[in-house]
């Protein structure tokens, strides 16, 4: 099954002074490069979803897709990823420096028997920005955006069906606290640097 890997490169990055989060460096490697490497192991191509005018220069071998629906939200980014991919898609938010090919491989493998979506659900809650979606869910997401319902939690409830990857399954490929760690602030960036040195730092 052909799968596109999509990097959701959005967000205002206000706590990082407006600097694009995925272009920040963790242990000498940009976050976007870390995610792209993990996606290339499981996807046929990498798509960057961004409205930034410089996005074409971030990953020379990646296609760039702009938002189709108005508004700034992760749901709008997921909608754009599915629309531009033209295939089933694994999406990853670009503020997750420790996403691994093992985790994405687990998601991809579960998608073989999924109809609409595969979403990891660690103890902290669903991770819809690190998940697999079928093109069949596009009308559902489109209606949500048109109705002004942009909450990711609502997406989990609105999808016709969701294959859940449980905390127990996730821990077989890594520590969920590390895998889903987000960089949203200078403090988070410092924490990520420490985590990159020691796999046990948190």
166 burial type by CB count under 10 A (0-12 exposed, 13-18 middle, 19+ buried): exposed
Model confidence, pTM: 0.93
pLDDT tens sequence across 133-187:
999 999 999 999 999 999 998 998 999 999 999 999 999 999 999 999 999 888 9
Maximum CA extent, the chain? 45
Q: Which of 55, 53, 49, 99 is nearest to 79 (CA)?
A: 49
Q: How confident is the model at residue 14 (pLDDT cuts 50, 70, 90)?
A: low
Greater confidence, 5 or 20?
5
Q: Which of 163, 162, 180 is nearest to 171 (CA)?
A: 180
pLDDT tens sequence across 37-70:
999 999 999 999 999 999 999 998 999 999 999 8
Domains of the chain: 4-193 (3.90.550.10)
Mean pLDDT score of the chain? 92
């Amino acid at each position: 099954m052909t799968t596109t890997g999509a990097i959701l490169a959005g967000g205002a990055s206000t706590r990082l002074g407006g600097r694009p989060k995925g272009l920040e460096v963790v242990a000498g490697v940009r976050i976007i490069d870390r995610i792209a490497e993990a996606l290339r192991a499981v996807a046929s191509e990498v798509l960057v979803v961004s409205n930034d005018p410089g996005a074409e220069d971030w990953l020379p071998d990646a296609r760039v897709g702009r938002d189709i629906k108005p508004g700034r939200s992760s749901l709008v980014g997921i909608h754009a990823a599915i629309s531009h991919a033209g295939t089933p898609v694994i999406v990853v938010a670009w503020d997750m420096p420790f996403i691994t090919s093992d985790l994405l491989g687990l998601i991809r493998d579960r998608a073989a028997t999924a109809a609409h979506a595969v979403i990891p659900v660690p103890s902290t809650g669903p991770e819809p920005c690190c998940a697999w979606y079928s093109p069949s869910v596009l009308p559902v997401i489109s209606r949500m955006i048109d109705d002004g319902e942009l909450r990711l939690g609502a997406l989990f409830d609105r999808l016709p069906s969701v294959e859940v990857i449980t905390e127990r399954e996730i821990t077989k490929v890594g520590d969920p606290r590390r895998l889903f760690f987000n960089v949203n602030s200078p403090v988070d960036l410092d924490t990520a640097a420490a985590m990159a040195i020691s796999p046990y730092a948190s």
